Amino acid sequence: MGIYNRADGKYIRELPAYIKFFPFLMTRRHDASIYFSQKIDLTNTMKYCTEKDVKIFHVFLAALLRLGVEKPVFNRFVVGKRVYQRNHLVIGFMAKQKIDETSKEISVKVFFDENDRLADVSRKVLEKVNVVKSGGDFDVDNTIDILTKLPKFVTSFIFMTLRVIDHFGLLSKKFIHDNPLYVSAYVTNVGSIGIDAPFHHMYEWGTTSVFAALGKIHKDYIVNGDGLAYVTDVVNIKFTIDERIADGVHMAKALADFQRYMENPELLE
């Protein structure tokens, strides 16, 4: 482990020259962020979710998982000006014990297998959410609680040290496993609180290269292939992606596949 091998990823040696150069040209994820917006036609999806008793959020996560399996470039990350292929498929999100302003919000991560289908995704997510709702403890929250009680200069020094260690690929497997921002994608379901999807910012901490926001379900116009418009249930999804992991062609094809899965969830079975 270290520099060319990390606990969470393998250094990719064979890459196009311009991809290798991107981390030098754009040193921060914020510099390399690009934004995509999709309007998903839920005509078929809503019917499917009702019949199968599945949540839209779970379809959303399963479609993202397929993206990571079929387009491995979306499961890459950049650290120390090097591009790595992540060892696992893992998604992070915030969960609350109750949907109210006073309820504790906990950041969790769920590990998936490349053979997981929609039913597996739903089961694993519900298991994790049930732990949150039952008031279970998460190591990351206990750590954050300790760090916020320390003097600011001490906390700043700790983070600076961790960044240096991370730069050289020396963070422990346990540290990465417990940290919610070392994930393939971080998602937010703001539709659950009745608002539309925003473009989420990128974090410089961690290794997350993809942020995706799921908005509220609402009525809107859709124009079909014949140029005819109709009103149906839709949802807006906003992506923020680190451009350094893939070129525009890969992204365009991958997001087209993602939309196809969202609109035809039976393909995720």
| Ordered domains of the chain (ranges, CATH) | 9-13+26-262 (3.30.559.10)
Residue 253, helix vs strand vs coil: helix
Element (H, E) at 61: helix 56-70
CB 202 within 8 A of CB 175: no
Q: What pLDDT is attached to residue 100?
A: 59
Residue 225 has a pLDDT of 78
pLDDT at 98: 64
Describe the strand order of the beta sheet including 9-11 as a list of residue ranges. 9-11, 82-86, 76-79
Residue 217 has pLDDT above 60, yes or no: yes
Q: d(Cα 237, Cα 200) in Å, to the nearest integer?
A: 11
Average pLDDT, the chain: 89
The answer to whether 180 touches 128, Cβ cutoff 8 Å, is: no
Instruction: Count the helices and strands in the chain (H runs, E runs).
Output: 9, 10
pLDDT band at 2 (very low <50, low <70, confident <90, very high): low
Which pLDDT score, from 0 to 100, does residue 223 have? 85
Burial group, residue 119, by CB count within 10 angstroms (0-12, 13-18, 19+) = middle
Its pTM stands at 0.89
Please say if the pLDDT value at position 43 is more than 90. yes
* Predicted local confidence at residue 138, as pLDDT: 58
- Name the more confident of 260 and 5: 260
Residue 226's pLDDT is 81
Tell the residue number behind the tokens 């998936």, with chain if given.
112
Greater confidence, 2 or 4?
4
Please state, in angstroms and as integers, the Cα–Cα distance from residue 68 to each residue in 52, 97, 158, following that order. Answer: 24, 29, 32
If you average pLDDT over residues 251-261, what whole number do you get? Answer: 92
Please choose, from the candidates 146, 163, 150, 182, the residue with its C-alpha nearest in 3D space to the C-alpha of residue 8: 182
Mean pLDDT of 226-230: 85
Question: Considering only CA atoms, which of 63, 116, 109, 101 is closest in space to residue 259?
Answer: 63
Q: Are the beta carbons of 268 and 261 closer than 8 angstroms?
A: yes
Give the pLDDT confidence of 71-117 residue by residue, as tens digits. 999 999 999 999 999 999 999 998 766 665 656 677 889 999 999 99
Higher pLDDT, 179 or 2: 179
